[in-house]
Amino acid sequence: MRISSHQLNEQHLRSFWNNSRLWLQYGNGSSYEERRQALESIMPSNVTSILDVGTGQGEVINQLPLDLKVVGLDISCTALQKVRRPKIIGKIEALPFSPTSFDLVLCLEVLEHLPDSAFFSAIVELQRVAKCWLLIGVPFKENLLTRAVRCPSCRHLFNTDTHFRAFASVRRISKLFREFTLQTHLLVGPSFERKTLLGQWLSLKLGVYIPWESYFLCPICGNTEPPLQRSHSKFLANLCRRFDCRLSRMRTPIPYWFIGLLQRVK
CATH number, position 128: 3.40.50.150
Q: Looking at the domain assignment, is residue 195 inside a domain?
A: yes
Task: For residue range 58-97, list pLDDT tens digits in order.
Answer: 999 999 999 999 999 999 999 999 999 999 999 999 999 9
Q: Which domain holds residue 100?
A: 10-264
Whether the per-residue pLDDT at 194 is higher than 60: the answer is yes
Q: Looking at the domain assignment, is residue 3 inside a domain?
A: no
Find the distance separating the first CA and the last CA of the chain, reported in whole Å. Answer: 32
Q: Looking at the domain assignment, is residue 5 inside a domain?
A: no
Round to whole Å and give the CA distance between 90 and 17: 13
Round to whole Å and give the CA distance between 266 and 248: 44
- CA-nearest of 167, 175, 188, 83 to 127 is 175
Whether the per-residue pLDDT at 159 is higher than 80: the answer is yes
Whether the per-residue pLDDT at 252 is higher than 90: the answer is no
Q: What three-state secondary structure class fits 125?
A: helix
Q: Looking at the domain assignment, is residue 1 inside a domain?
A: no
68 contacts 47 by C-beta, under 8 angstroms: yes
Task: For residue range 3-34, list pLDDT tens digits in order.
Answer: 666 678 889 999 999 999 999 887 777 788 88
